[in-house]
Chains A and B, each alone.
Chain A
Amino acid sequence: QKEVEQNSGPLSVPEGAIASLNCTYSDRVSQSFFWYRQYSGKSPELIMSIYSNGDKEDGRFTAQLNKASQYVSLLIRDSQPSDSATYLCAVIRTGSARQLTFGSGTQLTVLP
């Protein structure tokens, strides 16, 4: 079992819809969770970090964390074509000296 799992997609949503990206992790002692956006040919860009159960909102983005289910998600409201990218979920495990473990990413396409 991979430490961090994401559906590879591609996930397609129409413009203006809500895009829902999901991530599960295997290590129960994971403590911090991150969502990165990566455009084709570019470097990962940090969108959100979350470490407490519940929701965290930043503009059109909402991160949701459920530690009991070992599940973290990213919702993108009012999706725009410019949101089309690969979204990477990453986790820092307790005691891992701040090392990020990444999922393979979900490719999102927002259709005009």
Chain B
Amino acid sequence: NAGVTQTPKFQVLKTGQSMTLQCAQDMNHNSMYWYRQDPGMGLRLIYYSASEGTTDKGEVPNGYNVSRLNKREFSLRLESAAPSQTSVYFCASSEASIADIYEQYFGPGTRLTVT
């Protein structure tokens, strides 16, 4: 099992350009998440999808859109990139354990620079 995969690994955009970050998981998890990580700010939730067909905003959703394409795939779109969106983006997925604990597993990340 590959777990959670993300593409691309690195990306440089100019201000105003758009792009889509792709995420896929092969663990048959219902829930998927997008985070960004910035120095000194920790990991912050952008959007999440509790199950196929649903998406909800997290802590920092402005400037982003998401699509839960199917149970495996959850994409994050930047419609008009801004320098403030320079960050490392992580996708994660989770499923309830026997104890009803939702352990999240992370993909390798995408390093995005907006100039």
Real binding pair: yes
A residues lining the B interface (CB < 8 Å): 32, 34, 42-46, 49, 51, 88, 90, 92, 97-100, 102-105
Residue from the set B31, B43, B102, B107 with the largest chain A CB neighbour count within 10 Å? B43
Nearest CB in chain A: distance from B110 CB, A: 10
Nearest CB in chain B: distance from A9 CB, A: 13
Assembled-state Cα–Cα distance A34/B104 (Å): 9
Nearest CB in chain A: distance from B55 CB, A: 11
Asked if B94 contacts A98 (CB within 8 A), the reply is yes
Nearest CB in chain A: distance from B108 CB, A: 5
Residue count of chain B within 8 Å CB distance of chain A: 25
Q: Is the interface of B mostly helix, strand, loop or mixed?
A: strand
* A104 with B41, Cβ < 8 A, contacts A42-B108, A49-B103 known: yes
B residues lining the A interface (CB < 8 Å): 31, 33, 40-45, 48, 50, 56, 58, 90, 94, 97, 99, 101-109
* A46 with B58, Cβ < 8 A, contacts A97-B50, A98-B94, A99-B45 known: no
Complex contacts, A90 vs chain B, CB 8 Å: 43
Nearest CB in chain B: distance from A11 CB, A: 17
Asked if B45 contacts A100 (CB within 8 A), the reply is yes
Assembled-state Cα–Cα distance A75/B45 (Å): 27
Asked if B48 contacts A44 (CB within 8 A), the reply is no
Closest B residue to A104 using CB positions: B42
Nearest CB in chain B: distance from A48 CB, A: 10
Assembled-state Cα–Cα distance A109/B64 (Å): 36
Assembled-state Cα–Cα distance A98/B45 (Å): 11
Complex contacts, B101 vs chain A, CB 8 Å: 32, 49, 51, 92
Residue from the set A46, A99, A105 with the largest chain B CB neighbour count within 10 Å? A99
Q: Which of A51, A100, A103 contacts B104 (CB 8 A)?
A: A100
Assembled-state Cα–Cα distance A104/B42 (Å): 4
Nearest CB in chain B: distance from A109 CB, A: 18
Asked if B31 contacts A98 (CB within 8 A), the reply is yes
Complex contacts, B106 vs chain A, CB 8 Å: 43-45
Complex contacts, A45 vs chain B, CB 8 Å: 106
Closest A residue to B54 using CB positions: A97
